[in-house]
Structure 1
């Protein structure tokens, strides 16, 4: 895999202290991650990635009709350990969106279910990758 590919996405994770890390992208953005603290855990970051990816898709289209009064996406999953090791199952994505009364709000409300479905079926790279089951390769340099 070439690092020169324009569509390549990368994150570099560095250890800050035992159990605490910072993930950084090439643009300078960062987020802290840990286990057993108030910060987001790696599993929660995966769920947040699904939520954010689909929220961007849906918000981009629906907010052209009306600015939402409230916009919340909850992603939940059961963490299990079985013959396949640790993994998530039964991931659910729930949108709670309210638009104002009026023609714009009516148009946004009408298209909301369609945009949620399109995001799930086509647009959201994160949930599409999870659902399709992409191979992950680990190496040591």
Structure 2
């Protein structure tokens, strides 16, 4: 896997391009005008979207009818020398539709404990908790 990142102005605005050719704008969150997401926000987005893909795929195989899927991811950071890495993340999966809550919970368990490569990448350094709310 490989991505490319190119500076797009004279400040901190960056454009990241994946192998698919799709792009994401990244910027410094401390700027007066922010035109992209911060690198730390990207980490939260990565955890939320990776688990979303898993959960949706599992529920589709079980013929659950998802009419709305939203996810909220919050991260708690701490001071470490001159940086502020994540200490923990909490994910709230918000589902609507004709969905069995037990199946939704099992899908989330499988995602976070087995399939989601992004959250598994944080296993040894960031505590990730999650909850599922149906309808």
Q: What is the TM-score with the length of structure 1 in the denominator?
A: 0.76
SS for the counterpart of 1:86 is coil
User: In the TM superposition, what whole-angstrom CA distance separates every residue of 1:16-71 from its partner, at most 9, and x where no partner exists?
Assistant: 12110011112211111101315211111110000000000000111341321221
Q: After the TM superposition, which segments of 4 or more aligned residues of structure 1 sit over 6 Å from their partners?
A: none
Aligned to 2:86, which of 82, 85, 88?
88
Gap regions ≥5 residues in structure 1:
1-8, 134-141
The aligned runs of 1:1-141 (5 Å cut-off) are 9-17=1-9, 18-36=11-29, 37-64=34-61, 65-83=63-81, 85-100=83-98, 105-106=99-100, 109-133=101-125
CA distance in 2, matches of 1:40, 1:29: 15
The structure that has the greater radius of gyration is 1
Q: How many residues align?
A: 119
- Mark the CA change 1:128 to 1:12 in structure 2 (over 3 Å): closer, same or farther: same
State how far apart, in whole Å, the 1-side matches of 2:41 and 2:71 are.
13
Gaps of 5+ in 2: 126-135
Per-residue Cα deviation, 1:101-130 (whole angstroms, up to 9, x for no partner): xxxx33xx3311111011111100000001
TM-score, normalized by length of structure 2?
0.80
Root-mean-square deviation (CA), in Å? Answer: 1.7
